[in-house]
Amino acid sequence: MTIIKVDNLTKTFRTVQKRPGVRGSLRSLFKPEYQAIHAVRGLDFEVATGERLAFIGSNGAGKSTTIKMLVGILHPTGGKAEVLGRVPWRERAPLAYQIGTVFGQKSQLWYHLPAADSFELLARIYALDLEEYRARLHYLVEIFDIAEYLHVPVRKLSLGQRMRCEIAASLLHSPRILFLDEPTIGLDVVVKQRIRDLILELNEREGVTIFLTSHDAGDVEVLCKRAMVINHGEIIYDGKVSDLRRNYLQTKTVSLKLAVPWEGFSAQGVRLLKQRGYGVKLEVDTAQTSIEQVIAQLLARYRIADITVDDPPMEEIIAQIYLAQTPLSEEGGAC
Amino acid sequence: MLTRYLFVARVAARRQWFYRRELFWRSISMILFMVVFIALWKTAYQVSGRSELAGYSLAQVIWYLGMAETVMLSTSRSFVEISEAVKSGSVAYELARPLSYPLLQLARSLGNSAPRFLLNLMVALLVVLLGTGQLVGSVPGLLAFLLTAGLALLLDALFAVLIGLLAFWIEEVMPVYLIYQKLLFSIGGLFLPLEIFPLWLQRAAKWLPFQLIAYTPARAYVAFDVGELVRGVMGQLVYIGVLSGVLWLLWRLVQRRLVVHGG
Amino acid sequence: MKIWRLISGYVRHNFMAGMAYRGAFFLQIFGMMINNLMLLFFWNMMFLSFPTLNGWELQDIIVLYSIVAVGFGFSVVIFGNASRLASLITSGELDYYLALPADPLVHLLVSRMSLSGWGDFFFGLLLYLFVLPSAWRNLPLFLLLSLLAGLISTAFAVLTGSLAFWLGESEQLAAQLRMALLNFSLYPVDIFSGGVRLLLYTIIPAAFVGSVPAKLLTDFDIWWLAGLILVTALMGGLASWVFRLGLRRYESGNLVTVRG
């Protein structure tokens, strides 16, 4: 079943161009000159119920604008969209009862109060029935394992504990779609994994549709089956995450801090990116070799003070997709 | 050394000019206050049939209030910024700078005040002239006003920095500022010339620093008198000295606290 | 009704959040009460020299002050976010309220509480109860009038804040207009001459926040009360209508800064 359906969705912002000088500002006042910014240009896609979709793009690509239109905050300039069978910008309030949002950088919990109090307030905002709310809260507290933090002021929680409460809060009203914006930003590796597991569990248990935006390639890989990449307001990739992984996520970077001087290292599928003093950065192509193997070889040869393995940054993946999709002939003459 | 603080003050003044739209809205509050005061005092004089009160004619009272408001509306309220820096802990970084934080704030306050003062003065002159239809004051009065108003703004800036630093000890400094402000309104002579008060209160008020900020400059303008001017300026200088000493002590306490507790 | 549950929920939570820092909370209340007391000092001095001002005596001024303080205090305690409306609009923070199902205007208004407003509220109430004769008998009327005054000033804050939908950054303008309302409402409307007086009954409806309710308390007239209730309802309706009208503009996104 289709839960989100978007058809040629377009959004153009008009901003007033300011002219320099006093005369210029006067002229702008009476005869403003507008500049059009095409934030979203003709999006087409569908999302099925229960799907886990990653919506990827660099800053300014049109991600937020699209999500704002899907939850009814912004009117589109053109095109159609249906979420849960409703047109979001016409039926914003009824729709809001059925969708949840988590913004990693913006809390919906009261900073100075225990999470339990914020939950109760959200129950009132969503006009939940008291009995149902209690049962639901009990259930979520158990899944998210937050019973012991429930009555501690949020400001005293760690970021990971807070994030668990944050996601639980967004699920109180049993939404059918969950919009997650950078849910693991700033969390350490273990906590990140915990949050991802919880989101997956919810998706399986309740069939909640997940609509994720993230700069963390790990989030995308673990959480989502499908990925959509948006750039300059257009979808440039829509397909399986496994394909994305095969084509663009096959490299990892290994950063080393050595305890002895660098003397070079060569192996199949390993490329030196940067070396400066005792710091070394290597790119490992996982199609040709495995991370384990490379690290073992490195350890055999050097004394190592510190080592980290990272996914390539999302921006790089997007740039790669973008380049791969642009025919060479256009590339030369586009601008 | 001094040139650096002068530079800080100049940058602050230029920044004010950059936000002249806000400056413009601020001058509306001057018009607003004066409309209220003019109406109030006209009615008061009319209803009672008096032509003078404690030596002030109707026009003199209004000019007095216009000048007092000019000073008051030009103060810079730096306590807001300081208390926020204290609460966020960023004030600790100020210790690493080669400038003294209190002096920096004082310079910035005066820089902020200067353009506002000029604008408020022009607006006040215009509104009061239109409201009373009468020009009160003299050239020496105006010069005395400019001198005492400058010292008054420095005195107020000292108070504001002190109030801002109180944020190290109390959680919210706004109430302290509000009380200080109302002291200026009442026994500081902002709403009424001090001469209208009962004698005992006048005597008490004259010993306090609050009247040096609004009353002294406004009085110097409407009723210029050399003896009174000298006494006023002396009072201002004495209190500027006293408050500077308090600020110096307080800042040393703060520094020790920052070094020991790390903010 | 669910909107009442929302409002009462927010009032409780805001209060609890304020109590998390008890010291600051009580300092603000206390500070505000002293602040107001010192303003009354001015009137006391004024009436030492002039016993009456176009029919207003010190006691009438005290009635005026207590109504405005209780009304204004009530307004900023319950609807504490009204003063931030303009900046919410220009910064795009309105999104948060639009993504939730509760009525966005009511929701945004109640989601913040001015703590110092409690100081105004208690100051006005104590002033009324302990300074004026036969205060207890008239208490219900006093509370009703204060409520109306508070609602009018809230509606005015919404109207001035909503200007940001059309003007863009206009926080200063809204702040000055709100201050004008409060400032003018603290003076008897009869001291002003024709033009200004007309202004105070229309564009800056300070007369309905201060002088009209104050007169009603000392000199009750059922028709004036009916008129005041009508004005309150009109202002409330107008504010809500203008906000919704602006929202359509906001939704069409002309003023929204492009982010991401």
pLDDT for position A20: 64
CA distances from A302 to A16, A253, A258, A260, C125 (A): 59, 18, 7, 7, 78
Read off the pLDDT of residues C4-58 as tens digits, 9 standing for 90 and up: 889 999 999 899 888 888 888 888 898 889 888 888 888 888 888 888 888 888 8
pLDDT above 70 (res B91): yes
User: Cα–Cα distance between A59 and A71 in angstroms, integer?
Assistant: 19
Report residue C255's pLDDT band, with 50, 70 and 90 as the boundaries: very low
Task: Write the residue in C38, C172, C180 that is nearest to B182 by C-beta.
Answer: C38
Question: Is the minimum CB–CB distance between C257 and chain B shorter than 8 Å?
Answer: no
Closest Cα in chain B, distance from residue C29 (Å): 8
pLDDT for position B1: 67
CA distances from B60 to A142, B54, B141, B150, B222 (A): 75, 11, 13, 22, 6
Q: Residues near C147 by Cβ (< 8 Å), separated by ≥ 6?
A: C71, C74
Amino acid at A94: P
Q: What is the ipTM of this complex?
A: 0.79
Closest Cα in chain A, distance from residue C257 (Å): 9
Phi-psi region of A75 (alpha: psi -120 to 50; beta: other; left: phi over 0): beta
Q: Cβ–Cβ contacts within 10 Å for residue C81, how many?
A: 21
Residue indicated by tokens 């800053």: A59
Put simply, the answer to whether C24 touches B182 (Cβ < 8 Å) is no
User: Cα–Cα distance between A92 and A90 in angstroms, integer?
Assistant: 6
Q: Pick the closest to residue C40 from C131, C134, C139, C146 (CA basis).
A: C131
Task: Write the residue in C28, C176, C196 that is nearest to B25 by C-beta.
Answer: C176
Helices and strands (H, E) in chain C, number of each type: 13, 0
pLDDT for position A287: 81
H-assigned helices in C50-170: 58-78, 85-91, 94-98, 104-110, 116-131, 139-167
- Report DSSP state, residue C82: G
Q: Pick the closest to residue C74 from C148, C137, C9 (CA basis).
A: C148
Task: Write the residue in B54, B171, B192 that is nearest to C21 by C-beta.
Answer: B171
pLDDT above 90 (res B98): no
State the pTM of this model: 0.80
pLDDT above 80 (res A14): no
* Range with the poorest average pLDDT among A77-81, A202-206, A318-322: A318-322
- pLDDT: is C179 or C231 the higher one? C231
Phi-psi region of A64 (alpha: psi -120 to 50; beta: other; left: phi over 0): alpha
Q: Pick the closest to residue C189 from C102, C99, C61 (CA basis).
A: C61
Question: Is the minimum CB–CB distance between C23 and chain B shorter than 8 Å?
Answer: yes
Read off the pLDDT of residues C81-93 as tens digits, 9 standing for 90 and up: 999 999 888 877 8
Closest Cα in chain A, distance from residue C179 (Å): 27
